[in-house]
A = this chain, B = another copy of it.
Amino acid sequence: MTMNHTIETILQHRSIRHFTEQQIEAEKLKLILRCANAASSSSFIQCSSIIRVTLPSVRAKLAELAGGQAYVESAAEFLVFCADFNRHQQIHPAAQLGFTEQTLIGAVDTALMGQNAMLAAESMGLGGVYIGGIRNDPKLVSELLALPRHVLPLFGMCLGYPAKIPQPKPRLPLSIVVHQESYQSLDNAELEKYDQHIQAYYASRSSNNKQTSWSDQIRATLSKESRPFMQAYLNGQGFSTK
């Protein structure tokens, strides 16, 4: 078997930002969470927690701090995925924590869980979007969710029934993303083709139509600082101190 339901689900991914008011059935939500929990865990350390937020007042604050993303407030479900070594410290108060390596483990393992949750949801006709915007103000997120030291909120996830399904956004070609044997520098002809492809995609899409290439976007994004407070926040939470 080559093409199958799983692969179709994966390839049809697009972020959903418009949801109907329909709630997610309890059984489906449970399956999504079980799927999240089935992901691989580095050395079986199981260092992730998911905070399910339903309180409207908290949702409203999270929507605002994420940059005014209204769907954080209105989506049927909003889950905050965290790297969590606090659990381990409760088990072993003398645990050696704070290693940068543990931040990497936490980020990777928690993202594996996130993607399982996203795909499980998508496979049942739901849609969702990752909300990196919770990292705009990780201190406030920590307060709102009562996150103790050694817990790091990495991303949020809105889930619900799609009201609008956009086209999938064309990704960089595999010829650029996949390298054979060793790192290959960027093939400018391939990049040029991709930039034209993306320009055509933005020009033709039904909403939020714009005139830009991927390289243009990268130049704009990376001319700015990228959440320069993150190192201090991590350190304050007991991450990446050594």
CA A203 to CA B104, docked complex, whole Å? 31
Q: Say yes or no: A15 contacts B2, CB within 8 Å.
A: no
CB nearest neighbor in B for A107: B107
A contact residues vs B (CB 8 Å cutoff): 1-7, 9-11, 13, 15, 27-28, 30-31, 33-46, 48-55, 58, 86-88, 90-92, 94-97, 99-105, 107-112, 114-116, 118-120, 122-125, 129-130, 132, 135, 144-148, 151, 154-155, 168-169, 171-172, 174, 176-183, 185-186, 191, 214-215, 217-219, 221-228, 230-231, 234, 240, 242
Residues from chain B with Cβ under 8 Å of A94 in the complex: 223
Q: With A3-B31, A100-B240 in contact, do A108 and B107 touch (Cβ < 8 Å)?
A: yes
B155 touching A108, Cβ below 8 Å: yes
Find out whether the CB atom of B3 lies under 8 angstroms from the CB atom of A6: no
Residue in B3, B34, B44, B171 whose beta carbon sits within 8 Å of that of A37 in the complex = B171
Q: Which residues of B contact A125 (CB under 8 A)?
A: 1
Q: Tell me the minimal C-beta distance from A15 to chain B in angstroms.
A: 6
Tell me whether B90 and A186 are in contact (CB under 8 A): yes
A101 touches B178 (CB 8 A): no
Q: Which residues of chain B have C-beta atoms less than 8 A from A103's C-beta?
A: 103-104, 107
A2-B31, A99-B228 known; A116+B240 contact, CB < 8 A: no
Would you call A96 and B226 a contact (CB within 8 A)?
A: yes
Distance (whole angstroms) from the CB of A126 to the closest CB of chain B: 11
CB–CB B15/A27 < 8 A: no
A-B contact pairs, 21 of them (CB 8 A): A6-B119, A6-B122, A10-B38, A37-B171, A37-B172, A40-B118, A43-B132, A50-B177, A51-B178, A52-B178, A91-B186, A97-B222, A101-B226, A101-B227, A101-B228, A101-B230, A104-B107, A104-B230, A105-B226, A108-B114, A145-B182
